[in-house]
Amino acid sequence: MSTPYLQVTDLKVAFPTPDGLVNAVNGVTFSVDKGQTLAIVGESGCGKSVTSLAVMGLHNRRVAQISGSVVVNVADQAPIDIVSAPEDDVRVLRGRAISMIFQDPMSSLHPYYSVGAQVAEAYLLHHDVSKEEAFAEAVRALARVGIPEAESRAKNFPHEFSGGMRQRAMIAMALVNEPTLVIADEPTTALDVTVQAQIIGLLRDLQKEFGMAIIIITHDLGVVADIADDVAVMYGGRIVEQAPVRDVFYRPQMPYTMGLLASIPRLDGGHDERLRTIPGQPPSMINLPTGCAFKARCPYVELVGGDRCASELPNLVAAGDGHLVRCHLDEDTRLRVAAEALNRQGAM
For residues 33 and 220, which CB has a smaller minimum distance to ligand ATP in the complex? 220
For residues 50 and 142, which CB has a smaller minimum distance to Mg ion in the complex? 50
- 8 Å CB contact between 292 and 313: yes
User: Does the protein bind ligand ATP through residue 44 (CB under 6 A)?
Assistant: yes
- 8 Å CB contact between 243 and 231: yes
- 8 Å CB contact between 105 and 169: yes
Q: Which does 44 bind (CB under 5 to 8 A by kind): Mg ion, ligand ATP, none?
A: ligand ATP
Give min distance, CB of 50 to Mg ion, in A: 8
Give min distance, CB of 48 to ligand ATP, in A: 3
In 3D space, the residue among 69, 67, 65 whose CA is nearest the CA of residue 21 turns out to be 65
Largest interatomic CA distance in the chain: 69
User: Does the protein bind ligand ATP through residue 231 (CB under 6 A)?
Assistant: no
User: Does the protein bind Mg ion through residue 114 (CB under 5 A)?
Assistant: no
- CA 17 vs. chain centroid, Å, equals 25
Q: How many residues lie near Mg ion (CB under 5 A)?
A: 1
User: Does the protein bind Mg ion through residue 49 (CB under 5 A)?
Assistant: yes
For residue 283, CA distances in Å to 40, 43, 280, 304 come to: 18, 11, 9, 20
Q: Which does 24 bind (CB under 5 to 8 A by kind): Mg ion, ligand ATP, none?
A: ligand ATP
Cα–Cα dist 115/84, whole Å: 34
Q: Which does 50 bind (CB under 5 to 8 A by kind): Mg ion, ligand ATP, none?
A: ligand ATP
In 3D space, the residue among 190, 165, 225 whose CA is nearest the CA of residue 102 turns out to be 190
Give min distance, CB of 127 to Mg ion, in A: 31
Instruction: Return the residues of window 285-304 that contact ligand ATP according to CB under 6 A.
Output: 285
Cα–Cα dist 142/57, whole Å: 26
| 3-state class percentages of the chain: helix first, strand second, coil last, to nearest 5 | 35, 20, 40
In 3D space, the residue among 39, 7, 54, 29 whose CA is nearest the CA of residue 204 turns out to be 39
Instruction: Return the residues of window 2-41 that contact ligand ATP according to CB under 6 A.
Output: 15, 17, 22, 24
User: Does the protein bind ligand ATP through residue 48 (CB under 6 A)?
Assistant: yes
User: Does the protein bind Mg ion through residue 36 (CB under 5 A)?
Assistant: no
Give min distance, CB of 232 to Mg ion, in A: 14
Cα–Cα dist 36/82, whole Å: 20
Give min distance, CB of 174 to ligand ATP, in A: 18
- CA 65 vs. chain centroid, Å, equals 21
Give min distance, CB of 44 to ligand ATP, in A: 3
Q: Which does 95 bind (CB under 5 to 8 A by kind): ligand ATP, Mg ion, none?
A: none
Give min distance, CB of 40 to ligand ATP, in A: 8
**Which residues contribute to the site for ligand ATP (CB under 6 A)?**
15, 17, 22, 24, 42, 44-50, 285
**Which residues contribute to the site for Mg ion (CB under 5 A)?**
49
